[in-house]
């Protein structure tokens, strides 16, 4: 246990503490750091301009999360319903994109979405002769890139509870006259909700801090908080303010994780209580 805690402290706690300490200093006149204590950086985080960027980042990340959960849950459900011998192969194809670099996967979307890309070629093959649609450097392209890159997290998170479902529960529900939709809503969905929540948290946390996908697929037109932090450190050379923005982003991620953990504990408590009532 002690070595694990030591590694956690070395790789997570200490770097975060250094970034937090950096946020309490000033930017030097010519860049760099002036070691004078101040709280101005945290106050500047709440400027309407930066609050708007935070909200826009949350909106884009939330949209990507919703789409990824819908697609990922459907894919996981289909995999779990397939014959047992085929499921490992389908899971292999689901995680196959992880075998390539994140940048390569994102650049593939640039090739796919540009005006002379595969989608345009397919449209022309089907007889479309108009102006090629502008899909690259749009908010939709950013969301599509986030969904594609993080979709395997949702599939794996949802597949685990789906594969453990007792099929007799659904059969009993149908025997009692429940429709397929009612069975899904009242039995399958509640029992697999923890997997959905875990996958959603994965996608949201990774998406809201992402800066590569908005930069490449958004063309710099759709700034997210990750891009802002990147610019403060490497372009504006304002490390203290960049550190304050990074700590605000970490705080948002921690709140999301805490909310997910609290919801999971409450759901577990309700399940335990229901089981006790049934036994009584």
Q: What pLDDT, in 10s, does the model give residues 11-25?
A: 888 888 999 999 999
Report yes or no on 277 lying in a domain: no
Report yes or no on 157 lying in a domain: yes
pLDDT of residue 1: 60
Report yes or no on 25 lying in a domain: no
In the chain, how many domains are there?
Answer: 1
Spell out where 66-195 has E strands: none
Enter the pTM of the model: 0.87
Question: Distance between CA atoms of 17 and 37, rounded to whole angstroms?
Answer: 16
Containing domain of residue 191, as a range? Answer: 39-265
Token representation of residue 33: 């750091």
Report yes or no on 71 lying in a domain: yes
pLDDT of residue 276: 45
158 Cβ contact list (under 8 Å, min separation 6): 72, 73, 76, 77, 192, 195, 196, 199
Token representation of residue 153: 């997290």
Report yes or no on 122 lying in a domain: yes
CATH number of the structural domain spanning residue 154: 1.10.3720.10
In degrees to the nearest 10, what's the CA dihedral of 209, 246, 258, 222?
Answer: -30
pLDDT of residue 268: 64
Report yes or no on 100 lying in a domain: yes
Q: φ, ψ for residue 34 (rounded to 5)?
A: -110, 115
pLDDT of residue 183: 87
Report yes or no on 212 lying in a domain: yes
Question: Distance between CA atoms of 151 and 192, rounded to whole angstroms?
Answer: 17
Residue ranges of the chain with pLDDT lower than 50?
274-280
Q: Note the pLDDT tens digit of each residue in 76-98.
A: 999 999 999 999 999 999 998 88
Report yes or no on 27 lying in a domain: no
**Cβ atoms within 10 Å of 126's Cβ, excluding its own:** 7
Is residue 260 within 8 A of residue 197, CB to CB? The reply is: yes
SS3 of residue 33 by DSSP: strand
Token representation of residue 152: 């395997």
Strand partners, 102: none
């Amino acid at each position: 246990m002690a070595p694990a805690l030591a590694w956690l402290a070395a790789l997570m706690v200490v770097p975060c503490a250094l970034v937090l300490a950096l946020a309490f200093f000033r930017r030097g006149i010519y860049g760099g750091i002036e070691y004078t204590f101040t709280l101005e950086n945290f106050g500047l985080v709440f400027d309407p301009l930066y609050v708007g960027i935070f909200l826009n980042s949350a909106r884009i990340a939330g949209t990507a999360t919703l789409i990824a959960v819908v697609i990922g849950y459907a894919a996981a459900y289909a995999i779990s319903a397939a014959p047992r011998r085929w499921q490992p192969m389908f899971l292999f194809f689901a995680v196959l994109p992880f075998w390539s670099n994140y940048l390569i996967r994102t650049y593939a979307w640039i090739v796919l979405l540009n005006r002379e890309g595969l989608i345009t070629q397919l449209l022309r093959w089907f007889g479309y002769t108009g102006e090629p649609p502008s899909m690259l450097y749009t908010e939709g392209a950013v969301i599509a890139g986030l969904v594609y890159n993080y979709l395997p997290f949702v599939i794996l998170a949802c597949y685990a509870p789906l594969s453990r479902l007792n099929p007799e529960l659904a059969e009993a529900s149908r025997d009692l006259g429940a429709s397929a939709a009612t069975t899904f809503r009242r039995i399958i969905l509640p029992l697999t909700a923890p997997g959905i929540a875990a996958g959603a948290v994965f996608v949201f946390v990774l998406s809201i801090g992402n800066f590569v996908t908005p930069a490449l697929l958004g063309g710099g037109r759709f700034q997210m908080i990750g891009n802002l932090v990147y610019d403060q450190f490497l372009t504006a050379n304002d490390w203290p303010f960049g550190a304050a923005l990074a700590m605000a982003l970490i705080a948002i991620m921690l709140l999301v994780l805490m909310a997910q953990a609290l919801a999971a504990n409450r759901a577990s408590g309700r399940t335990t209580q229901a089981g006790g009532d049934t036994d009584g």
